[in-house]
């Protein structure tokens, strides 16, 4: 095992302890009402998990992108209702644009292909635009936006108090809010060529793929445990071959999601065809989300459908996250076009990167 | 699952990347020279090509040099294998030796057997087949009835094997048989013997596929004498020997790439600017193979013993048998997705032996489609194995 792998395993253990110790039914229920959990954010922030994967000299906690990926996956395993992925994306935008990091929960906008216009205002900038489905906008300390100016692309930080925010949520009751910027002042801003809407979307899709993998792991674990407990016809349902085979299929889907998403993080970190890797991961994970969530509910019967039982925290997220930053059809069409353009004889070289 | 695997660190070393291009160029040249015609579904037996591949050092490449190997890494072998599969090169003449019987001999064989067979396999000059299945022993392999009785200096075999791929062309095969009666524990009393195919008492009869192809055989033993030095490993230990170390064999690229050349021809047929529906299917198929390849690669990388270890023997400390079963299960269904996409996007009425490459591949793939979920452990058997591992953690 390499050093990097060993360090990551230690990080995973530490992160697992944090989430296992603090995420419980009460916290998750409260988050369904509030759209997130401020309490959990404080704990996770004290444990220095939000800025893993951002270099220390840039104000982060150090570690690689794969380390960050591992943390996102673990957090999702516990359905952690906090903007961990969004803060990582925001920190990435800031560091790429050469701006200082900001403490606290952050988010990014736009996430659905809309535009925010930026105009110079003396030495500073003002921002205008309506953007939808911004994750955790009402919870964040600052929004980090990727705006369009006549001079080019601009990364800017905005105080949410300067925007009109209309609460919304995804299927898992995580905050997904509409944000109206009406000549809102940027606090800090820099023109950049280091990021584009496409690379932001790519990173966002990778984050959701990793989160899907984590949620699938949780749903699989619950399903296996439940099958070993539930008795019908005088036997544990795990003894029925029909149930066993569904669980095996579920394990395959989960493994594929973990493999694809963690691999894609590795490709982004170490070099290679990022579009191929992330598109593949999002496509594969979104599909696994469908297959896995359906098996999970089938194995659980009616109890899985209730708000008293933990499964829904995982499955609602699977159904939400597969759509966010592009669903499998959108990514597949884009990936298919690029593979077709490279031609039949380019297919294998593209897949092998050689 | 996959706890011992680091997916984010799957880089091929420069040696493997160089080999990748080398094998690719070799195959391109062979195809240009018309050495082989590509058929999908069942890798063909082409002794001449296997010899050329052997001469390049690409058979038994992870084995020790003293047995004709190259002492290269599992990753080198991985890229060599996938290059062969990417163009469906006919590898049946060395495949079983390279993947199954060679590694078994390295692990359990006597020094004499290793000296005699391994260098010959590696040169592509000696082809092995596998004699496991019998009319009443399929998934339930321990039910084999073929018997070997002790005689002076060896064993005398009687019985029958079936579904023996390439038994009509191979030189010898590994035969799983009973050397002691079933005395309660049915896994005891089974042994593996090497039987030469061209000898008195061995009768090989063809069984034709539904499209007329001849791959399968049934093989009868009538008092066939096998000398003691052709017993692999220990008498009575056959079961343990065949069930250990399935991981690498089960998770290799051959589990998800047998229809890949059809995918390539589909992309060619659809052209460089396909419509949205076609593009989406190409994207999905791309994501499928990309993901499977990462899983398969991860297993090869994790099992690679690394320099200095005994070559050809996977790392003993990691058990990836369940992960390998997962890859095979996913891979075999992925192969069918390619066939379906090709059908649905092409509006072709498939015909055996069609002149057009895409159409021929389509026909061959459709007919071969049921196979991959049967051989090497059926879907149901694999899923049972995976479930036992999942549920075992509860106890
Ligand atoms: C192309 C091809 C090449 C082959 N080459 C060789 C070869 O070279 N040498 C060789 O020895 N064999 C070979 N085989 C045979 C292969 O190993 C067997 O087909 C395989 O072991 C399955 O056995 P079977 O065909 O008798 O099916 P069976 O075992 O009879 O299975 C029939 C059905 O029952 C299901 N089933 C069986 N047991 C269970 C269970 N416990 N739970 C649930 N379902 C179950 C199976 O999944 C399957 O769906 C080859 C097969 C094919 C298709």
User: CATH number of the domain that A56 lies in?
Assistant: 1.10.540.10
Ranges under pLDDT 50 in chain B: none
Q: Any chain B CB within 8 A of the CB of A120?
A: no
**Closest residue in chain B to residue A229, using alpha carbons only:** B394
Last residue of a domain, one of A142, A175, A193: A193
Query: How do residues A279-318 score in pLDDT, each as one tens digit?
Result: 999 999 999 999 999 999 999 999 999 999 999 999 999 9
Q: Any chain A CB within 8 A of the CB of B271?
A: yes
Q: Average pLDDT of A31-52?
A: 97
Interface test with B, best of A255, A274, A285, A343 (most B CBs within 10 A): A255
ipTM here:
0.94
Quick count: other Cβ atoms within 10 Å of Cβ B205? 13
CATH number at residue A309: 1.20.140.10
User: From the CA of B47, how many Å to the nearest CA of chain A?
Assistant: 26
Give the pLDDT confidence score for residue B235 in this predicted structure.
Answer: 96
Distance, first Cα to last Cα, chain B? 17
Give the pLDDT confidence score for residue A269 in this predicted structure.
Answer: 95
Per-residue pLDDT for A195 more than 80? yes
Q: Average pLDDT of A36-43?
A: 98
- Please give the residue range of the domain that contains residue A320: 197-352
Q: Is B384 in the pocket of ligand 1 (CB under 6 A)?
A: yes
User: From the CA of A352, how many Å to the nearest CA of chain B?
Assistant: 9
The answer to whether residues A163 and A186 belong to one domain is yes
What pTM did the predictor assign? 0.95
The answer to whether residues A209 and A339 belong to one domain is yes
A339:B267 CB<8 A:
yes
Percentage of chain A beyond pLDDT 70 is: 100
The answer to whether residues A70 and A179 belong to one domain is no
Closest Cβ–Cβ partner in A69, A245, A333 for B283: A333
Determine which helix (DSSP H) or strand (DSSP E) holds A165, and give its type and residue range: strand A164-166
B264:A247 CB<8 A:
no
Query: How do residues A320-354 score in pLDDT, each as one tens digit?
Result: 999 999 999 999 999 999 999 999 999 999 999 99
The answer to whether residues B281 and B375 belong to one domain is yes
Half-sphere exposure of B99 (CA within 13 A, CB side): 21
Question: Per the domain annotation, does A100 fall within a domain?
Answer: no
Give the pLDDT confidence score for residue B387 in this predicted structure.
Answer: 96
The answer to whether residues B153 and B258 belong to one domain is no
The answer to whether residues B170 and B205 belong to one domain is yes
The answer to whether residues A160 and A242 belong to one domain is no
Question: Per the domain annotation, does A139 fall within a domain?
Answer: yes
The answer to whether residues A213 and A335 belong to one domain is yes
Strands A142-149 and A106-109: parallel
Question: Per the domain annotation, does A96 fall within a domain?
Answer: no
The answer to whether residues A219 and A289 belong to one domain is yes
Protein residue closest via CA to atom 5 of ligand 1:
B165
The answer to whether residues A78 and A146 belong to one domain is no
CATH number at residue B164: 2.40.110.10
User: From the CA of B56, how many Å to the nearest CA of chain A?
Assistant: 21
Give the pLDDT confidence score for residue B251 in this predicted structure.
Answer: 85
Contacts of A13 (CB under 8 A, 6+ apart): none
Give the separation between CA B164 and CA B167, rounded to whole angstroms. Answer: 5
- Please give the residue range of the domain that contains residue B332: 242-392
Give the separation between CA A198 and CA A225, rounded to whole angstroms. Answer: 41
Last residue of a domain, one of B210, B237, B264: B237
Half-sphere exposure of A8 (CA within 13 A, CB side): 26
The answer to whether residues A241 and A256 belong to one domain is yes
Give the pLDDT confidence score for residue B316 in this predicted structure.
Answer: 63
Give the pLDDT confidence score for residue A6 in this predicted structure.
Answer: 86
Last residue of a domain, one of A193, A216, A249: A193
pLDDT band at A177 (very low <50, low <70, confident <90, very high): very high
- What's the total number of domains in chain B? 3
The answer to whether residues A219 and A276 belong to one domain is yes
Q: Rounded to whole angstroms, what are the CA distances from A339 to A10, A230, B54, B225, B291? A: 38, 47, 34, 57, 16
Closest Cβ–Cβ partner in A266, A331, A337 for B10: A266
Protein residue closest via CA to atom 41 of ligand 1:
B381
Task: Out of B22, B71, B249, B337, pick the active-site residue.
Answer: B249
Q: Which residues of A touch B279 (CB under 8 A)?
A: 332-334, 336-337, 340
**Closest residue in chain A to residue B257, using alpha carbons only:** A348
Closest Cβ–Cβ partner in B2, B264, B295 for A348: B264
The answer to whether residues B289 and B365 belong to one domain is yes
Give the pLDDT confidence score for residue B184 in this predicted structure.
Answer: 86
Question: Per the domain annotation, does A316 fall within a domain?
Answer: yes
Backbone angles phi, psi at B174, to 5 degrees: -85, 125
Give the pLDDT confidence score for residue A85 in this predicted structure.
Answer: 98
- What's the total number of domains in chain A? 3
Catalytic-residue membership of B249: yes
């Amino acid at each position: 095992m390499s050093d990097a792998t060993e360090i990551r395993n230690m990080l995973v253990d530490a992160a697992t302890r944090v989430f296992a110790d603090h995420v419980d039914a009460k916290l998750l229920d409260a988050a369904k009402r509030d759209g997130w959990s401020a309490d959990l954010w404080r704990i996770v922030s004290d444990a220095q998990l939000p800025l893993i994967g951002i270099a220390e000299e840039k104000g982060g906690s150090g570690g690689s992108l794969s380390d960050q990926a591992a943390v996102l996956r673990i957090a999702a395993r516990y359905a952690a209702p906090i903007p961990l992925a969004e803060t990582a994306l925001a920190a990435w935008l800031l560091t790429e644009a050469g701006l200082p990091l900001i403490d606290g929960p952050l988010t990014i906008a736009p996430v659905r292909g809309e535009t925010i216009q930026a105009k110079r205002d003396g030495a500073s900038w003002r921002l205008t635009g309506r953007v939808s489905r911004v994750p955790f906008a009402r919870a964040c300390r600052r929004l980090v936006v990727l705006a369009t100016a006549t001079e080019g692309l601009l990364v800017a930080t905005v105080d949410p108090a300067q925007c009109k925010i209309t609460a919304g949520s995804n299927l898992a009751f995580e905050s997904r809010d509409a944000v109206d910027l009406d000549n809102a002042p940027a606090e800090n801003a820099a023109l950049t060529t280091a990021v584009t809407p496409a690379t932001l979307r790519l990173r966002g899709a990778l984050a959701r793929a990793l989160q899907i993998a984590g949620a699938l792991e949780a749903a699989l674990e619950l399903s296996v445990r439940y099958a070993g407990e539930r008795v019908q016809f005088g036997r544990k349902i795990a003894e029925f071959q029909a149930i066993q085979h569904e669980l095996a299929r579920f394990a395959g889907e989960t493994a594929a999601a973990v493999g694809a998403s963690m691999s894609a993080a590795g490709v982004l970190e170490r070099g290679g065809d990022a579009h191929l890797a992330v598109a593949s991961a999002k496509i594969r994970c979104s599909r696994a989300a469908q297959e896995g969530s359906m098996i999970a509910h089938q194995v659980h019967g009616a109890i899985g459908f209730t708000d008293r039982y933990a499964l829904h925290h995982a499955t609602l997220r699977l159904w939400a996250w597969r759509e966010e930053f592009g669903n499998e059809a959108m990514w597949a069409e884009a990936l298919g076009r690029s593979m077709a353009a490279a031609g039949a004889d380019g297919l294998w070289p593209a897949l092998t990167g050689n | 699952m996959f706890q011992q695997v680091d997916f984010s660190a799957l880089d091929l070393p420069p040696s493997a990347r160089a080999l990748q291009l080398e094998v690719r160029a070799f195959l391109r040249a062979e195809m240009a020279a018309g050495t082989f015609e590509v058929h999908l579904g069942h890798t063909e037996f082409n002794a001449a090509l296997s010899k050329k591949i052997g001469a390049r050092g690409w058979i038994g490449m992870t084995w020790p040099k003293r047995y004709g190997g190259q002492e290269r890494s599992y990753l080198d072998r991985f890229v060599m294998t996938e290059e062969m599969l990417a163009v469906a090169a006919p590898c049946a003449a060395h495949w079983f030796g390279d993947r199954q019987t060679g590694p078994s001999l390295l692990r359990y064989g006597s020094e004499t057997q290793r000296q005699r067979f391994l260098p010959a396999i590696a040169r592509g000059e000696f082809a092995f087949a596998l004699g496991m299945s019998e009319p009443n022993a399929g998934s339930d392999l321990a039910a084999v009835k073929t018997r070997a009785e002790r005689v002076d200096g060896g064993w005398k075999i009687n019985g029958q094997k079936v579904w023996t791929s390439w038994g009509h062309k191979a030189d010898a095969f590994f035969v799983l048989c009973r050397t002691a009666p079933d005395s309660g524990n049915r896994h005891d009393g089974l042994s593996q013997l090497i039987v030469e195919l061209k000898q008195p008492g061995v009768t090989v009869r063809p069984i034709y596929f539904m499209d007329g192809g001849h791959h399968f055989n049934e093989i009868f033993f009538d008092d066939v004498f096998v000398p003691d030095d052709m017993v692999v490993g220990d008498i009575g230990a056959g079961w343990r020997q065949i069930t250990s170390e399935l991981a690498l064999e089960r998770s290799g690229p051959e589990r998800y790439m047998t229809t890949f050349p059809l995918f390539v021809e589909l992309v060619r047929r659809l052209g460089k600017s396909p419509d949205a529906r076609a593009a989406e299917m190409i994207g999905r198929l791309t994501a499928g193979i990309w993901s499977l390849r990462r899983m398969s690669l991860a297993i090869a990388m994790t099992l690679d013993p690394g320099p200095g270890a005994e070559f050809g023997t996977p790392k003993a400390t990691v058990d990836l048998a369940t992960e390998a079963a997962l890859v095979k299960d996913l891979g075999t269904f992925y192969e069918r997705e390619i066939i379906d996409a090709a059908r649905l996007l092409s509006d072709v009425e498939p015909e055996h032996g069609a002149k057009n490459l895409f159409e021929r591949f389509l026909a061959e793939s459709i007919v071969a489609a049921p196979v991959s979920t049967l051989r090497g452990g059926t879907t149901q058997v694999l899923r049972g194995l995976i479930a036992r591992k999942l549920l075992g953690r509860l106890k």
